[in-house]
C-alpha cells in the first residue's frame, strides 16, 4: 500500500528540459503557421473550456513564464522555428536568466534551417541529434553537482 502523501519525501527536480514545450499558453496561440494555429487554438479553448484563452485567468495560471521563480531547477530549452512555441520559449529563457536560474538553450535561425514543432523527436535529423547531445552534456553537468 502506498504511503499517504504527507509521509512521502518531497520531490525536488534537479533539472527541466523543455523541448518545443508550450510555456505560455496565451502567447503560444499564434505560432505564425496557419495550419498549426488552426489546430492549436480550438485545442486550447477546449482544454480550458473558455472561448477567449488570451483573457482567461485559468490559462494565465498555466503559464510557466508568468509564474516561474528563482527556485525553478536548472533548465535546457529548445524549440523549432516554424509552427512552434518559439516566442514563449525565448521569453522563458529570458525570464529564467533574469531570475538567476541556470539555463541553457538551443534555437536555430530560420534563415539557416526551417525546423517545425518538436523537430527534436526525429532522431535522424542532425539538428535534433545536436540538441540531444547538448541535453546529455547539460544533464551531466547538472546531475554531477
* Per-residue model confidence as pLDDT tens digits over 52-75: 777 778 778 888 999 999 999 999
β-strands 15-19, 103-107 pairing: unpaired
β-strands 103-107, 74-79 pairing: parallel
pLDDT score of 47:
78
* Per-residue model confidence as pLDDT tens digits over 122-142: 999 999 999 999 999 999 999
pLDDT score of 8:
67
Task: Please answer whether residues 130 and 119 qualify as being in contact, where contact means their C-beta atoms are separated by less than 8 angstroms.
Answer: no
Amino acid at each position: 500500500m502506498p504511503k499517504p502523501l504527507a509521509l512521502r519525501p518531497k520531490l525536488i527536480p534537479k533539472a527541466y528540459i523543455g523541448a518545443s514545450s508550450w510555456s505560455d499558453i496565451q502567447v503560444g496561440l499564434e505560432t505564425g503557421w496557419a495550419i498549426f494555429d488552426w489546430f492549436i487554438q480550438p485545442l486550447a479553448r477546449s482544454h480550458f473550456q473558455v472561448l477567449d484563452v488570451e483573457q482567461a485567468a485559468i490559462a494565465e495560471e498555466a503559464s510557466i513564464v508568468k509564474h516561474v521563480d528563482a527556485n525553478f531547477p536548472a533548465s535546457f530549452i529548445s524549440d523549432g522555428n516554424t509552427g512552434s512555441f518559439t516566442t514563449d520559449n525565448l521569453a522563458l529563457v529570458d525570464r529564467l536568466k533574469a531570475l538567476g536560474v541556470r539555463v541553457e538553450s538551443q534555437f536555430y535561425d530560420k534563415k539557416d534551417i526551417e525546423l517545425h514543432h518538436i523537430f527534436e523527436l526525429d532522431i535522424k535529423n542532425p539538428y535534433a541529434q545536436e540538441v540531444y547531445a547538448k541535453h546529455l552534456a547539460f544533464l551531466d553537468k547538472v546531475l554531477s553537482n
